Amino acid sequence: GCAQKYIVKNYFYYYLFKFSAALGEEIFYITFLPFTYWNIDHSVSRRMIIIWSIVMYIGQVSKDILKWPRPLSPPVVKLEMRTDAEYGMPSTHAMAATAISFSFLTATTNQYKYPFELGLVAAFVFSMLVCLSRLYTGMHTVLDVIGGALISAVLLMLLYPAWDMIDHLLLTSPFCPLLSIVVPLVLCYNYPKLDYYSPTRGDTTTILGAGAGATVGFWLNNQYAAPAYTGENLQLGIPLITSKIVVVVLARFFVGIFVVLLTRQLMKSVVLGMLGYRYKFPIGDLEARRRLEVEVPYKFITYSSVGFSATVIVPLLHKLLGLM
């Protein structure tokens, strides 16, 4: 329900950790992951999205299986609206931050020339800020955060040896498009049931849908189009970052984000309208939108369209605009 009343005494920490908390939410995923695909390297983006999807699914399901409550308030002050709607253990913010930062480091360290120590520090600082933000905002205990980071680290170590094999199968297998859609849908429809509504199922469907759409896009690009970006324009070396490269990078990003956000808004309206007509409920009916037969197709179709648009439509538009 309602956020607690509180007085901010240290604005530096307040805005630092509020911003850090956003690094584990949709606004970050929908900007950083596509940015990597458009401007850095396809292979880096593919690996990050694979890891992100697997780690987040396991984290979300673990919450609803373990059913560990979030910190009691009081004594903590909760700075976010999602207070008792979700369980706490493990912290999926900590899992996502650890997975994204260290998978990015691992995927780029052998491809680009930059000091490994600098990358390691950046990954550690990024994940640490997100983890600390969950404590500051009162949303998780220390155990939740440590558990999330450790689970993510273990999954990274287990998946790393299979990265190249998984990536090869996703790009070349004729069954990839079908499995990329069917498997996530089955997982979403068979998500653990709770006695009350929790946004975890919807969030999980959003993540798996985006990953499914992106994976289909990866496969199509590999089958029918030449790689749009090879990373040659952005070698992560400061002397090579010229004003021209900066302009191109920013142009790709803003054009891409506009298309992605437009796709999300259009698909939300279209899919909700169709489901509302099918199940006889007004679009503004929040309770109806939380039903399994509505929430899963609504979230999955919308965000798979976003993933597909980011990996197929946006690169084509970049090519037409001469931004490659």
Any catalytic annotation for residue 42?
Answer: no
Rounded Cα–Cα distance for residues 67 and 57 (Å): 16
Residue bearing tokens 């992106």: 214
Indicate which residue of 42, 140, 168, 318 is catalytic.
140
- The separation between the first and the last C-alpha atoms of the chain, rounded to the nearest angstrom, is 47
Query: Are 324 and 256 within 8 A, CB to CB?
Result: no
DSSP 103: H
DSSP 141: -
Residues 6+ apart with CB under 8 A from 295: 201, 202, 205, 289
Q: How many helices (H) and strands (E) does the chain have?
A: 13, 0
Any catalytic annotation for residue 318?
Answer: no
Indicate which residue of 42, 93, 168, 318 is catalytic.
93
Radius of gyration of the chain (CA): 20
Give catalytic residues, as residue numbers.
93, 140
